[in-house]
Amino acid sequence: MKITEVLNKAKPTLSFEFFPPKTPEQEEELLAVIGQLKTFKPDFVSVTYGAMGANREKAFFWANEIKSKYGLEPVAHLTCVNASKDDIAARLDELEKIGVENILPLRGDPPAGTDGLRLTADGFKHASELIAFIKQRQPNFCLGAAGYPEKHPESPSFAKDLDYLKMKVEAGAEFIITQLFFDNRLFSSFVQSCLRAGITTPILPGLMPITSLHQIKRFTGICGATIPPELMAKLEKHQADPQAIKQIGTEFTIAQARGLLKSGVKGLHFFVMNQAEPISTVLSELGF
């Protein structure tokens, strides 16, 4: 089922984002996580690439597993990085063959410590170019786009970033999933800015329960998201207590999600980090 059809539901949608495991032990853990979270009946799940397109084969493998073994609707990530047009075309054929209908085209990011992106001579520099290529070659795919409530860290300004998002929508993106954020006012402002720019595409807020102070500092440093001072102060006060960090993060996400649902969002998209417990607690409290 295409995400555009899913978003026509009367009630808010629920979706998860996983990352491909790297070891047999992590594969077993992910199987257990999917089994636990399946009980919440998510409308779709997405599977990420690693930096530079790493784990690409595994990402597609798990998209197939999620669809065929678990009966869940996958959204496959597809990036420009280190890929030619022929590479992308082959990937599209592969996704079509395994029955994937939804793709989240992204530019992709280089791994930490490198000097930038690797782009092929016959490839794409921007996600908007990738979206346009997919729409022209295989228009039956339903395509999404990434949105940044606090702008992409490489954008010179929020206005420029909004212009680029509009380019992605005009190229064929039919839904938007945001980067993680921790202040609902930022999401509300982002949605209003999109509307003023003529972007009426459905926007799903991306949420990540904080389970590790070190991890969330690293993630926000990469993606440009900010943590409210009050929340950061509470986290730092309990930084020596991992269980307290998880509890603080989970309680914050419950309150954040409740506020978003009250405001009438189309759905909630959770960055699971392949951990079932925090998401299960949040969704149980929300009544899913």
Q: Is residue 17 flagged as an active site residue?
A: yes
Handedness of CA 260, 219, 232, 271 (dihedral sign): positive
Q: What string of H, E and C letters represents the secondary structure of 61-128?
A: HHHHHHHHCCCCCEEEEEECCCCEHHHHHHHHHHHHHCCCCEEEEECCCCCCCCCCCCCCCCECCCHH
Q: Which residues contact 69 (CB under 8 A, 6 or more apart)?
A: none
Residue 197 pairs in a beta bridge with none
Token reading at 65: 């597993």
Residue appearing with tokens 């082959």: 90
Q: Which of 17, 65, 73, 101 is catalytic?
A: 17
For residues 250 and 257, what is the distance between their CA atoms, to the nearest angstrom?
Answer: 10
CB 168 within 8 Å of CB 242 = no
Residues noted as catalytic: 17
